[in-house]
Amino acid sequence: MAKIYKTSCFLIVLLTLCIYGNAQQNQQCLKCHGQVFYQYDNEWTGKVDKRPMNPFYHIDSVKMHISVHKEFSCTDCHRPDYETFPHSGELRMEEKYACIDCHGGDDNFAKYNFEGIEQAFMESVHFKANDDKFNCWMCHDPHGYQLALRGQESIKDVVSLSNQMCLDCHTNKFKFGLISDEMPKDIAETHNWLPNQPNHFENVRCIDCHTQVQSDLLVSHKILPKEEALKNCVKCHSANSVLMESLYSHRVKESREESGFINAAILNEGYMIGANRNLALNYVSVILFGMLLIGLLIHFILRLTIKNKK
Amino acid sequence: MSEKLFLYPTWLRVWHALNAIFFLVLLITGISMQYSNPNWILVPFDLAVASHNVSGIIILISYLFYLFFFFTTSNRRHYNIVFKELGKRLAMQIRYYVFGVFKNEEAPYPTSWNMKFNPLQQITYVGVMFVLYPVLIITGIALLFPELIIDNFFGIGGTLLTALLHASTGFLVSMFLIIHLYFATMGATFFANFKSIITGYHEVH
């Protein structure tokens, strides 16, 4: 027992030191990359130069410290040569890791099916149109990625975080320009057919209509061409709402269907015409309506028969 | 030749016609949306939403039109409920509908110039026009502008509660519509009351 206790203490101390060490090392990088402007001693002129940080290389240190990769050292993923400043020009040729390089083939992540995600990604319109130019990091910021769907966030926050990933490119001509010579289209205009557009944008993820639902993935990664996107209202607005297999799939287990509500997972945090039904009220309304019709029919028949006899 | 009373002035008949047409649209599109299903389409969803919204606004305007004439004409006399012995009068009317009508008994409260409604009708019409309709309209406006609705009401979504209230009230008014149509057949002849609401003249029997 004492041995287990000692080993546990040792591991905790080791982990703490490791995280502390990484934080110290990362601090060196964030001194410049965590700032909008960075400064350095110019050995040629003997002066201190102040330069704007390239927005593509800027890292939000607050987001980084709450992200899923917060315990990593920068050089776990980037070459140690980056510890030297000025960085060598050759380093820009560095090949970046993809998600699957760390998460693939690991039993700890098996339930998230990263292999399935990669397969779906390779069938997505993004990959098909751009091949290797389109990688995981185009959507998932490795320096600030947060888990939303599996966390305790409200559906609105999940939707906001998810949609921001799409909007980061589709409303930003600089990021969009990395893979396209065209300007990004106005999202509001391309979706002007959608009734109550702001409501839909706040409560439904882009991917809920723009991907094919995949039961073996928590979040489908097969982004469809725009022509194949879901445009049929009733696919969502019905008791068998497709959102129950996507946006709400992880909360369906908590459904209070037994207490009389269909799609309780949806109504816990919102309301969707056609998808939320109250079973008790449904039964009561059918019974009342049936009784009314039967009562009136009997009354009508009696009116005809008794009066005719007289 | 039976006696005829001019009980339904033009404004009332116009309101009634508008109300009837657009309430039917609301009823059909409302059922279609509430029970929407990819395999069973009563009205296409987008068309149902648009028609329901437009019809709801028309019903609201026509209701305001009705209220204007209600307060500015003598028609409101029909809605003055006398509470003295109301229970007894309601019981007499119910007894007539359940038994008396089959024995060709005289109606206990026949239609007259001063009172076109019997006590049961009066209570029902006041309930529909001044309780159920305002609830339907207010919840309908709230659902048209969901940003007006509070997000959470004692742990339950505000929009869900509003929608439940709207659908339940709509159901009650639909029940009223069926009863209203059936009782309209109990005039001097089967179609006499239907003619009355077109011509304005009620045929006394």
Q: How far is A224 from chain B (nearest CA, A)?
A: 21
pLDDT in tens, A126-184: 999 887 788 898 899 889 888 876 666 778 888 998 999 999 999 999 999 988 899 99
At residue A292, the pLDDT reads: 97
Q: For A271, which of B46, B160, B182 is closest by C-beta distance? A: B160
Q: How confident is the model at residue A12 (pLDDT cuts 50, 70, 90)?
A: low
Task: Please list every residue in chain A whose beta carbon sits closer than 8 Å to the beta carbon of residue B178.
Answer: 292-293, 296
Q: What SS3 class is residue A211?
A: strand
The radius of gyration of chain B from alpha carbons, rounded to an integer in Å, stands at 19
Q: Find tokens 């402007």 and name the residue.
A: A37
Give the 3-state DSSP-derived string for B167-181, with helices as H, strands as E and coil as C: HHHHHHHHHHHHHHH
Q: For A233, which of B45, B159, B182 is closest by C-beta distance? A: B45
Residue-level length of chain A: 310
Is there a contact between A96 and A137 (Cβ–Cβ < 8 Å)? yes
pLDDT at A270 over 90: no
> Mean pLDDT throughout B3-13?
92
Q: Where are the beta strands (DSSP E) in B54-153?
A: 152-153
pLDDT in tens, B96-144: 999 999 888 889 999 898 899 999 999 999 999 999 999 999 999 999 8
- The rounded percent of chain A whose pLDDT value lies above 90 is 32
Q: For B49, which of A195, A267, A270 is closest by C-beta distance? A: A195
> Mean pLDDT throughout A60-86?
89
Cβ neighbors of B111 (< 8 A, separation 6 or more) are B5, B7, B117, B118, B202, B204
Tell me whether A197 touches chain B (CB under 8 Å): no
Q: Find tokens 């003619």 and name the residue.
A: B195
Q: How far is A242 from chain B (nearest CA, A)?
A: 11
Distance of CA B56 to the CA centre of its chain: 14
Highest mean predicted confidence (pLDDT) among A270-274, B1-5, B120-124? B120-124
Orientation angle between helical segments B133-144 and B158-184, nearest 10 degrees: 140
pTM here? 0.76
Distance of CA A277 to the CA centre of its chain: 27
Orientation angle between helical segments B192-199 and B10-34, nearest 10 degrees: 120
Joined together, the tokens standing for residue A38 give 């960075």
Tell me whether A230 touches chain B (CB under 8 Å): no
Tell me whether A48 touches chain B (CB under 8 Å): no
Q: How confident is the model at residue A2 (pLDDT cuts 50, 70, 90)?
A: low
**Spatial separation of the C-alpha atoms in residues A229 and A210, rounded to whole Å:** 5
The ipTM of this complex is: 0.88
pLDDT at A294 over 70: yes
> Mean pLDDT throughout B183-199?
93
Q: Is the Cβ pair B36, A235 closer than 8 Å?
A: no
Task: Render the burial of B59-90: b for 16+ CB within 10 Å, e for the rest.
Answer: bbebbeebeebbeeeebeebeeeeeeeeeebe
**Spatial separation of the C-alpha atoms in residues A156 and A308, rounded to whole Å:** 65
> Mean pLDDT throughout A51-57?
92
At residue A247, the pLDDT reads: 78
In the predicted model, what is the mean pLDDT of chain B? 92
Which among A214, A197, A215 has a CA at the least distance from the CA of A206?
Answer: A197
pLDDT at B28 over 90: yes
Q: What SS3 class is residue B153?
A: strand
Is there a contact between B74 and A271 (Cβ–Cβ < 8 Å)? no
| Weakest-pLDDT range from A99-103, A109-113, A243-247, B4-8 | A243-247
Is there a contact between B93 and B109 (Cβ–Cβ < 8 Å)? yes
Task: Please list every residue in chain A whose beta carbon sits closer than 8 Å to the beta carbon of residue B45.
Answer: 233-234, 237, 274
Q: What is the DSSP letter of A179?
A: T
